[in-house]
A = this chain, B = another copy of it.
Amino acid sequence: MIRVAIFEDNFLLRESLFQLVNGTAGLICAGAFANSDNLIYNISKTYPDVVLMDIKMPGKTGIESVLILHDQFPKIKVIMQTVVDDEDKIFASICNGASGYLLKNTPPATLLQSIVEVFEGGAPMTPIIAQKVLEKFRKQSGPTLKEFNNLSNRENEILECLVEGMSYKMIAAARNISIDTVRFHIRNIYEKLHVNSKSEAVVKAMRSKTG
C-alpha cells in the first residue's frame, strides 16, 4: 500500500486527486492539503511515501516545500505538478530534491502509474520536461576535468570517478574491473600527484579544472 499526500490549493483539483488516488488499488491518500503552511506537522501525521506537490501555492511554494521535505524526510518521494513548463522552476525543483515532474494535463492513468514508478525509485517526467532537462544536462556536461598528461587514460578515468565521490567498490562496479585493480590505479595516481589520500587527490584534481 503506497501512502500518498496531496498539496494543491485548487479545491476541485485537490478533491478529484483525492478521489482518484483512493479509488485505486494499492494506493491510499493519507492526506490532502491546500498549502504547505503546516508542512512538517502534516507530513509527520500522515507519513506518506509519495507526495504530489503543486508548484504554485499561496504561502510556501512547492519549491521551498520540496527542499524542506528532502531535508527532513529524505525517504519521501516528491512529484511536482505544474501547469506551465517554466525551466527555472523545474531545475530548482530538481536541485531541491524532486523525483518526478508532471504537467497538470497528465492523464489520470499516467499520473497513477507515475506514483507507483516514483515509489519504486524511478523518475517519471513529462517528456517535454525531460527534454529540457536533457538539454541543460548536455550543456553542463562539457569538458569536466583537465586531463593530467602525466596520468594514463585509465588513471584519468579513475580519477574522475574519485571526483564523483565514488568508493572503490562503486568504481570497480562502474568500470567493470576488480577492486584490487582500482587500488592499483589509485596507488599510481597518488604517486604521480604526490598525495596519499582520496580527498587530497580529489582536491588536486578539482583545482586543476579547465578554465
A34 contacts chain B at the CB level, 8 A cutoff? no
A74 touches B194 (CB 8 A): yes
Residues 169-198 of chain A, each 1 if its beta carbon lies under 8 Å from chain B, else 0? 000001000000000000000000011011
A122 touches B118 (CB 8 A): no
Residues 127-141 of chain A, each 1 if its beta carbon lies under 8 Å from chain B, else 0? 110110110111111
* Residues from 84 to 130 in A contacting B, C-beta threshold 8 Å: 87-88, 91, 94-97, 99-100, 114, 117-118, 120-128, 130
Enumerate chain B residues within 8 angstroms of A100, measured Cβ to Cβ: 127
A12 contacts chain B at the CB level, 8 A cutoff? no
Query: From A145, which residue of chain B is reached at the shortest CB distance?
Result: B95
What is the copy number of this chain in the assembly? 2
Determine which of B74, B122, B144, B167 lies in contact with A130 in the assembled complex, contact meaning CB atoms within 8 Å.
B122
A146 contacts chain B at the CB level, 8 A cutoff? yes
Give A50 to B97 CA distance when docked, in angstroms: 32
A131 touches B121 (CB 8 A): yes
B195 touches A144 (CB 8 A): no
A66 to chain B, nearest CB (A): 10
List of 7 A-B pairs having minimum Cβ-Cβ separation, nearest first: A122-B127, A165-B200, A123-B131, A123-B130, A117-B127, A199-B202, A124-B127
Since A91-B141, A97-B138, A165-B200 are in contact, a sample of 17 more A-B pairs with Cβ atoms closer than 8 Å, ordered by chain A residue number, is A94-B141, A96-B144, A114-B127, A122-B130, A122-B131, A123-B128, A123-B130, A123-B131, A125-B127, A133-B133, A136-B137, A139-B165, A140-B141, A165-B199, A165-B204, A198-B198, A202-B202
15 contacts between A and B (CB under 8 A): A74-B194, A88-B174, A91-B141, A94-B134, A94-B137, A97-B138, A99-B134, A121-B131, A123-B127, A137-B137, A137-B140, A165-B199, A165-B204, A199-B199, A206-B207
